A and B are shown apart, each in its own frame.
Chain A
Amino acid sequence: MSDPQGSAIGDRGSEEPGSGIGDPGSETLAHITNVVVWDIPSAIVVGEKFRIKVGMKCSAECDLTGSHFEIYDHGVEESGIGDQGSEAGSGIGDPGSEEGSGIRDPGSEEGSGIRDRGSREGTRVATGTLSGDVWPGTTGLYVAEVELEAPAAEGLYTWSVRSLGSDAEIPHPDGSISFGVRVVSHPEYLVTVETVDKESQMPLSGARVVMHPYKAVTDERGIAQVRVAKGAYRLFVSQSRYLTFGLLVDVDADMTARAELCVEPVQERN
């Protein structure tokens, strides 16, 4: 275990409260556990299984093998897609660092069996344990993949992951992070997008097609298929070194769109 005084974190942190940085001047320095969540599908059909990755990192680079975490559902946000609400009302702020955010102590409800969707504490939907794998490209982010089940109703949910410490000798206070889970009904229409280079008319593979919240990637023929719900969308197709193609579409049936992408010109230097 490395010396926390020598870690990259902690220097000058005490100057600014709330920075999330440790205080090297304290005699009872705690090892801070930070939590990361990624690979969250952008749209998950109601009731379906999906997988996410959870990572945890100790500020002193402790081995977190065997550390436990819990995942909570805090319910549907009242604001929907495109809501222009203030940040205070977004409900997706970092619960771990904000006083009164409401999920600091979910453990009190453990075992209650009550799904208190929308409550501050949230409902525990899963637990997990870090296996000891460190995520590639990181120095000490221990990772686990978790299978979860989407709620049965549509909406943008706020979920959170909370670390529960480990059996390590040095205490690790809980860390947590919240994230959005977009649950959609079964999308009924198929949008086929053909993507080509405008000048050569050659297909562009690997282009990203986005009809928020739905996404797809074009294949070697330049084709991507996105299954979406009825509605109005801003269809984007983007590819490295090309200008993003944008198109407003109303989807009320299966449809096809063609995206001709232009190489982005290099701005003249003078």
Chain B
Amino acid sequence: MARKKDSDQKDPKRQGEKSVTRRDFVKAGAAASVGAGAAVLTTSGTALTQVSPTEAVRWTYEADVVVIGAGCTGLPAAIRARDLGASVIVIDQNFDPGGKMLHSGGQISLGGGDPLQLRDIKGEGDKEGFVTAPRQQTVAELTEDTDFLFRDHTDWSVMDTAAQAPYRYNERDLHRAYADNCYATREFLMANYVRMGRISGTHGNGGMSRARRAVTFFMEGPTTDVKKGTISKQDAGIAGKSSSHFAPRFMEDGTKVASKGARTNGAALARPLEFSAREKGVRFILNRHMDEIIREQQFSGRVVGIRASYSPRFDPSGARLESLWQNGNIDDRTETIYIRARKAIIIGAGGHGANPQFRSMFYPAWREPAFVSSGWALLGPRGQDASGIIAGMRVGANLAGMQQNLSYGSTFHFPGNLATRDPYTDMLPGHPTFSMRGSTGINLLTDSFQHLIVVNQVGKRFFNEMLVTTRQGGAAFPAGPGKGQPKKGLDHVQLDWRNASVENIKATYSEPNSVHAALAMNEGSKAPDFFSGPIWAIFDRAAVERDKWNIDPPFTSLTNGFFFKADTIEELAAKILKGHEFQRVPLTYLKETVAKWNSYVDKGSDPDFARGSDAPMHRIDTPPFYAAAFYPVWHDSYGGLRINGRAQVIDMQGEPIPGLFAGGESSGGGNQHGLGRALVHGYIAGTNAVKETT
């Protein structure tokens, strides 16, 4: 029998081993046919040279600015630097630009009196006439300035529903710069084909006092045309059936924030930025993982370049995955290359959520390698691997915000998606990584959890299943009672001690705790890591029929180790042990647990976890029986390289490392969720990188 996994997977070729085939799914027609507007490169961002400032490196390529990561920090940084006249090379470990941004909801909280707040205050729409929906917020809810935003983002008094302070520990210089650059960043986005709708509320940890969030969108049209702001229905996707290479995730209806026919999500942000970058002459080296940042001396001097290795991904047929657009790509398949940065290196390599060793410094129980970061199937096994942070540390960088993973509610949580290793990712047929999901999962709403029990690696229940997917919300406008703050909306008072009073915390504390219970040590946890092991949802045929679950492929796979079916509970336990790579010990207690559960159902009460008060209880006794992996996911990353207000990476002595910049989830000291933080960092980094002198 194969040895059970005690470490994370690093072999990219493993990605295609367990796959969902297109035939498994509803036929979705041809793949995306996007390509309109492909630009002709007019600049020579790269040149084959043999420059060796360190006398030891034979450079393969060089550019003024080298950007690591083509995501939410890297793309705006690259465009901004290119706008200011620099030659730019962007590398990314994945086959396609976009990073997690491409799979995001496209929600961008900025503020401080940014152009969209002002547009809504005036009651205006956009120049193209796409935004005709009525204003979502009042003038007062939209009115602020940068000083007000800065105070919001550094407010010591705000406590969330887990009694954490999401703003207190934010780096002050960084957030002063953030507040001062929100206006310019919003303008910059709009100047690079990004369309955004009405301001509505504020995204998690984006501030408590004003509405600042806008969602990116395209309008449905006959063709997908980034310049015109249109997307075909095929590219936007069909709910539950198909997505596209252009938009890996089905795009939601955006009528409320823009107008009828609007389709929203992060594809309407990532693709326009990528398109604009290519159009402006940014060069991309994809399938290329940054392994090392090269500095003149390890802890002194300028950073001068990077070493990067070839990191292709392959589909189940063995074909290499390719980017949607190729213009501007440098397709170098050499195992190792060196890229010289004449002026600056910008790290936008994402976070650490997929690196069990790194993330365990925040939370030791998360050293368990079974659980992945959101976007695992999209980004591949080397996405979110902390490589940007680690490379910075190796040349002397300091860290910041190391505790802030704990003060955002969905940093780690249980999505309600069973029978898949990557319960957060949504690619459907049409996107090249759909097959990497292995199975799309049985996506359950909370109420459906009445039909199952959830057990740990030894087969014991550990939490009330009806509460196990409960997530703590982010601390943001309009908040109010029940969401952490004593006063709602405009009544919230910045810097008021009452926000952090014991009385308020007692009244609002509602930390869900289910993930913590899931990660707790159990009888199967063994030294030295004491892994908690996989989590299993156990149910029977009656549950499937009662709640109308579709458990057929591609929702599940009986061969990928994340879903099992058996005639008896004993047989089910044995199949899990044999078939799941992270199931290291027998589910010794599973039969006893099911018997006990059935006895509780007979009695009508659950003395162990108080089920039965909010939904009926159901026996698990009708064969066949099922086990579906029920995995928590590490979604965001907080904590990373310390950067200042110019996005320069700061060393252990408090000094900038010459030529080295970072942002987004590679950086720390900012607890804002989502896209706004990274976009602003990228804008600032790109602006300042070009000012560096060789």
Residues of A that sit less than 8 Å from B by CB: 8-13, 15-16, 18-21, 32, 34, 36-40, 42, 55, 57, 59, 79-87, 90, 92-94, 97-98, 135, 137-141, 156, 177-180, 182, 208, 210, 212-213, 234, 236, 238, 240-244, 246, 264, 266-270
Contacts and interface: CB of A to CB of B under 8 A. Distances in A.
A165 to B, nearest CB: 17
A240 B447 CA distance: 8
Contact of B575 (A8, A83, A140, A243): A8
A82 B574 contact: no
Contacts of A156: 602-603
Interface string B204-224: 100000000000000000000
A37 B621 contact: yes
A16 B586 contact: yes
A16 B584 CA distance: 12
Nearest to A61: B567
27 contacts: A12-B578, A16-B588, A34-B569, A34-B570, A36-B567, A37-B621, A38-B542, A38-B619, A38-B621, A57-B571, A83-B605, A87-B596, A92-B598, A93-B592, A93-B599, A137-B541, A138-B624, A177-B595, A179-B598, A182-B602, A210-B616, A212-B616, A238-B447, A238-B450, A238-B615, A244-B616, A269-B424
Contacts of B105: 268-270
Contact of A83 (B548, B603, B608): B603
A32 B570 contact: yes
Contacts of B574: 8-11, 13, 21
Closest 7 CB pairs of A and B: A180-B602, A92-B599, A212-B604, A210-B616, A141-B567, A34-B568, A138-B567
Given A16-B586, A36-B621, A208 B616 contact: yes
B623 interface: yes
Contact of A240 (B410, B548, B566, B567): B548
Contacts of A208: 546, 616
A94 B445 contact: no
B9 interface: no
Given A8-B575, A9-B574, A267-B471, A79 B623 contact: no
Give the residue among A38, A57, A83 with the most B Cβ atoms within 10 A.
A38
A244 B570 CA distance: 32
B592 A270 contact: no
Contacts of A21: 570, 573-574, 577, 586
A238 B616 contact: yes
A8 B578 contact: yes
Contact of A40 (B446, B619, B673): B619
B203 interface: yes
B449 to A, nearest CB: 11
Contact of B203 (A83, A141, A270): A270
Contacts of B571: 8-9, 34, 57, 59
Contacts, number: 177
Contacts of A16: 585-586, 588
Interface string B581-594: 00001111001100
B605 A36 contact: no
B336 interface: no
Given A208-B616, A236-B615, A264 B446 contact: yes
A40 B107 CA distance: 50
Determine the main DSSP class of A at the interface with B. loop
A42 B601 CA distance: 9
B547 interface: yes
B694 interface: no
B408 to A, nearest CB: 10
A11 B575 CA distance: 9
A55 B623 contact: yes
B591 A270 contact: no
B613 interface: yes
A92 B204 contact: no
B622 interface: yes
Contacts of B410: 270
Nearest to B458: A16
A92 B575 contact: no
A246 B614 CA distance: 7
B592 A85 contact: no
Contacts of A83: 603, 605
Contact of A12 (B104, B540, B577, B596): B577
A90 B578 contact: no
Contacts of A87: 596, 607-608
A206 B21 CA distance: 34
Given A9-B570, A212-B616, A264-B447, A15 B586 contact: yes
B216 to A, nearest CB: 14
A206 to B, nearest CB: 9
A241 B603 contact: no
A244 B447 contact: yes
A38 B543 CA distance: 13
Nearest to B603: A81
B73 to A, nearest CB: 18
Given A240-B448, A267-B471, 13 more contacts: A9-B570, A16-B585, A21-B574, A21-B586, A34-B569, A36-B623, A37-B621, A38-B540, A139-B567, A179-B598, A208-B616, A264-B446, A267-B446
Nearest to A137: B624
A94 B621 contact: no
B547 A81 contact: no
B674 interface: yes
Contact of B621 (A12, A40, A81, A138): A40
B1 interface: yes
Nearest to A141: B567
Contacts of A264: 445-447
Contact of A19 (B445, B566, B578, B586): B586
Contacts of B577: 11-12, 21
Nearest to B575: A8
Contacts of B623: 36, 38, 55, 135, 137-138, 141
